[in-house]
Amino acid sequence: MPEINITLPDGSVRQYPRGTSAMQVAQSISEGLARVIIAAKVNGQVVETTRPITEDATLTLLKWDDKEGKSTFWHSSAHLLAEALESLYPGVKFGIGPAIENGFYYDIDLGNHKFSSDDFAKLENKMLELAKQENPFIREEISKADAISYFTEKGDELKLELLQDLKDGEITFYKQGNFTDLCRGPHLPHTGHIKAVKILNIAGAYWRGDEKNKQLTRIYGITFPKKSELDAHMQMLEEAKKRDHRTLGRELEIFAFDDDVGPGLPLWLPKGAAIIEILEEFAKKTEKEAGYVRVKSPHIAKESMYIKSGHLPYYQDSMFPPMEMDGTKYYLKAMNCPHHHKIFAATPKSYRDLPLRLAEYGTVYRYEQTGELFGLMRVRSMQMNDAHIYCTKAQFEEEFRAVNDMYLKYFRVFGIDKYMMRFSKHDPRKLGQKYINSPELWIETENMVRNVLIKANIPYVEVEDEAAFYGPKIDIQLWSAIGREFTIATNQVDFAQAERFDLSYINEKSERERPLILHRAPLGTHERFIGFLLEHYAGKFPLWLNPEQVIILPISEKYQEYSEKVLNVLKKHDIRALIDDRSEKTGKKIRDAELKRLPLMLILGEKEQADNTVTVRKQGGEDLGSMPIEAFTAYVKAEVEKQMN
C-alpha cells in the first residue's frame, strides 16, 4: 500500500498508509490522545477525525483547548440540540445552527409547539441523554437531488431554501443517532464528548437576518467536556455581570435613568458629571494643542438645514419628530455637522485659514428604536467629542494622520491595548440610495484613506457597505475587559456636504475651491465612552480621572479637626478629596472606600496629628506609609501628571 507523509506541528514526519484518518494517527501516538481529540486540521482545513487523508499533509490534532476544537465541539452540540428538539417536538423545522464565540445556537421554526424557559431543563436532560449514547457523527456526500428529496419529504422548507444556494457535488449530510442535517461539518467523533449542557436563553431571530423574513426561534446554549468547566463558565458570567457598566454605574452613583425623564435619556449624577468635566478638560487641552478652535451651536435647527445637509431623507426615522412653530418645523439636532458647516460659512475663508478645525462637545438627540437602547451604550441623548476639519486636498493626508495620532495618544492614556480600526466603505450597488451618488469621489477618497492607514502602519480591516452616506469612515472598535465590543470613535471623510452647503475658500490663485471635510470624534460620546471606561477599569477610575481621588479616614472623632485641616490643604492643591466622618471603625471605613473604588485613603490618628503627617493606603491594600502632607500632595500631582501623559 502506498504511504503518505504526515507532518506534525513539532516538525516530525511520520509515514502512514494512504487513507489513514487523523484518529488513527492519534491512536498511533497514544490512546489518551485519541480519546480527547475533537477534530483535525489537515493542510490548514478543519475536518472530522475520521476523514481519510489521501495525500501528504501537515496535521494538527485539535483538542478542546484549541479555538477550532471548541468551535467544532459547539457546532456538534448544535446538532445534538437539534436532535433533542426533534425528539421532543416532532415536526420542528431547522434553519441554521452555528457555533459562536461562547457556545452555539440553532434557529428553528417550532410550528404549533410552545417552548419557553420552563422547558430548558427538559431540553438539557434530553441532550445529555442523547449524548450518553455516544452516537458517532457520520458524514455522507449526497447529490443535490437526493438532498432536496430528503428535505421535501421531511417538509423542512428552511433547509430547502439553504440547499438552493449550494452546488451539486459539494453537499454533505451529517447524521448522528436519529438525526440528519445538511451541514459541511466538521464534527466530533461522537456525541459522548459532550458532558455538560446549559441552555442559556431563547430569542427571536429573523430568518437569514432580514427583518422582512419570518421570525424564527433562536435557542442559545453552551456545552463542555466536563461539568466543572460549565460551572466555571457560569461563574465567569456572574463576574462579568458585576463588571457590567450598568451595575457599576448604579453602585458607584455615576448615572441613572428615570421613567419620567424617558428611556435612553441618562441623568448624570454628581460623580458622573465630575468625570465628564475631567474628560472634557483633557480633550479640550489636547485639541487646543493640536490647533483646534472651539465653537458652540444651538440644540435645534430648522428643517431646511437638514434638507440642505441631506440628512433628512436618510435619517429622518432616527431623529426625534419635529416641533412646529409659526409654520416652520424645527428638529432637535441629531448631528453637529451642519451647524459647524454654517459656522465655516459665516465668514469668508482663504486658503490661509485652512486647515480650520472646529471643535465642540455637542449634545445631540437620536431617536433610537426602543429595542436598541442599552445602558449608556445606546442612548437617545448624547454629548459628542465632535470636531470638523476643513482642509485642502493637499492637507488631507497630514490632517487625517494627525487625527489618528490623537486616537493613539488617547489609547495610551486610557490604557486601551485591544482595538481595531474598521475602514468602512460604500457599496457601489447602493449609490443614490444609501450613499451619495458620486462614484468617482467614493473611489478617490477611499484610496486616500487607505493610503494613510497603510503609511501609518495602523492595523485595520476593510468592510463594504458600512460607510456614512457622505463618505468613507473609520470606526474604532474597542473591547472592554468583559469582552463586550464597542464602536467608540469615528473618523469620517466628507466630500458631499461642502458642495451641499456651498462651502468654499479662496485659493492662492484667487479662485474659489471646495474644502474637504473630516469628521472626527476620538472619544465618541460621553455616554458610550464612560460606559466603556466603567467596564474597562471595573469601576476603578485612575487617579487623574476619579471624581474622588482621596478619602480621609479619621480613626475617631477626636481627629476631625486635623482631618479638616488636611482636607483644606488638599483642596488648595486642587485634589478632589472628602472625609468619612461617620462614627465607624477604621476597618469599616476602609472597606467602604474600597467598594467605592477610591484610589487613595488617608488614615489619620494620634500619630499623624502629632507629626503633621498622613498615612497613605492605596486602593487594593498597598501601604505607602506616613509622609508629610506636602509630600503627599506632591505625590498625587506627580501621579496625575504621569497618568495623563
Partner RNA sequence: GCCGUUGUAGCUCAGGGGUAGAGCACUUCCUUGGUAAGGAAGAGGCCAAGGGUUCAAAUCCCUUCAAUGGCUCCA
Contact indicator for 558, 564 with CB cutoff of 8 Å = no
Question: Sign of the CA dihedral 446, 448, 454, 458?
Answer: negative
Our finding on whether 271 is near RNA (CB under 7 A) is no
Residue 317 in contact with residue 336, Cβ under 8 Å? no
Contact with RNA (CB under 7 A) among 165, 457, 620, 645: 620
Q: Which of the stretches 82-90, 180-188, 243-251, 391-399 binds RNA when contact is defined by CB under 7 A?
A: 243-251
The DSSP result for 311-333, as a single string, is HHHHHGGGSPPPEEETTEEEEE-
Nearer residue to RNA within complex by CB, 201 or 507: 201
Options 448, 531, 608, 640; binder of RNA; rule CB under 7 A: 608
Which member of 108, 205, 248, 533 binds RNA (CB under 7 A)?
Answer: 205
Site string (488-527) toward RNA, x via CB under 7 A: --x-x-----------------------------------
Total residues in contact with RNA, by rule CB under 7 A: 74
Nearest 5°: phi and psi at 536?
Answer: -60, -45
| Residue for grid cell 501628571 | 641
Binding test (CB under 7 A) with RNA, winner from 121, 145, 203, 267: 203
Restricted to residues 160-199, the positions that interact with RNA (CB under 7 A) are none
Are residues 232 and 224 in contact, defined by beta-carbon separation less than 8 angstroms? Answer: no
Which residues in 387-416 contact RNA (CB under 7 A)? none
Does 607 engage in binding with RNA (CB under 7 A)?
yes
Strand partners, 357: 389
Identify the residue among 194, 305, 516, 590 touching RNA (CB under 7 A). 590
- Smallest separation, CB 390 to RNA (Å): 17
Contact between 270 and RNA per CB under 7 A: no
Residue 477 touches RNA, criterion: CB under 7 A:
no
Instruction: Assess 44 for contact with RNA (CB under 7 A).
Output: no
Stretch of 58-66, 447-455, 484-492, 632-640 lying at the interface with RNA (CB under 7 A): 484-492
Binding window for RNA (CB under 7 A); candidates: 32-40, 62-70, 78-86, 595-603: 595-603
Q: Which of 116, 164, 347, 645 binds RNA (CB under 7 A)?
A: 116
Q: Distance between CA 160 and CA 482 in Å, rounded?
A: 39
Residue 546 DSSP class: -
Q: Which of 190, 143, 102 is nearest to 483 (CA)?
A: 102
CB 467 within 8 A of CB 426: yes
Q: Which of 430, 594, 627, 635 binds RNA (CB under 7 A)?
A: 594
Nearer to RNA, 117 or 149 (CB): 117
112 binds RNA (CB under 7 A): no
Q: Which of 211, 289, 326, 440 binds RNA (CB under 7 A)?
A: 211
Contact between residue 591 and residue 607 where contact means Cβ atoms under 8 Å apart: no
Which residue lies nearer to RNA by CB, 187 or 380?
Answer: 380
Per CB under 7 A, 201 contacts RNA: yes
For the chain, the distance separating the N- and C-terminal CA atoms, rounded to the nearest angstrom, is: 68
CA–CA gap between residue 210 and residue 197 (Å, rounded): 30
Phi, psi of 310 (to 5 degrees): 90, 0
Candidates 595, 631, 634, 638; binder of RNA (CB under 7 A) is: 595
Residue 336: CB minimum distance to RNA, A: 9
466 close to 430: Cβ distance less than 8 angstroms: no
Give, as ranges, the residues between 559 and 578 that touch RNA (CB under 7 A): none
Assigned C-alpha cell, 2:
502506498
Q: Which residues touch 190 (CB under 8 Å, ≥6 apart)?
A: 134, 135, 136, 137, 176
Using the rule CB under 7 A, give the single segment among 79-87, 127-135, 364-372, 500-508 that binds RNA. Answer: 364-372
Residue 555 binding RNA, by CB under 7 A: yes
208: its cell numbers? 437569514
Write out the binding residues for RNA, residues 439-468 only, by CB under 7 A.
Answer: 468
Please identify, using beta-carbon distances, which residue of 16 and 559 lies nearer to RNA. Answer: 559
Pairing of strands 52-53, 57-62: unpaired
Binding of RNA by 586 (CB under 7 A): yes
Tell me, letter by letter, the H, E, C secondary structure of 531-544.
HHHHHHCCCCCCCC
Backbone angles phi, psi at 332, to 5 degrees: -70, 140
Contact region with RNA (CB under 7 A), list: 17-25, 166-174, 281-289, 600-608: 600-608
Closest CB to RNA among residues 32, 587? 587
C-alpha cell at 183: 451541514
Alpha carbon 546 to its chain centroid, in Å, reads 24
Q: By CB under 7 A, is residue 74 in contact with RNA? A: no
With CB under 7 A as the contact rule, which of the stretches 143-151, 440-448, 502-510, 579-587 interacts with RNA? Answer: 579-587
Alpha helices, H only, 290-366: 303-309, 311-315, 337-346
Contact 333, 339 (CB under 8 A): yes
Q: Which of 227, 412, 588, 637 binds RNA (CB under 7 A)?
A: 588
Check residue 242 for interaction with RNA (CB under 7 A). Answer: no
Rule CB under 7 A: which of 283-312 touch RNA? Answer: 311
CB of 90 to RNA, least distance (A): 21
Question: Rounded distance, CA 195 to CA 102, Å?
Answer: 16
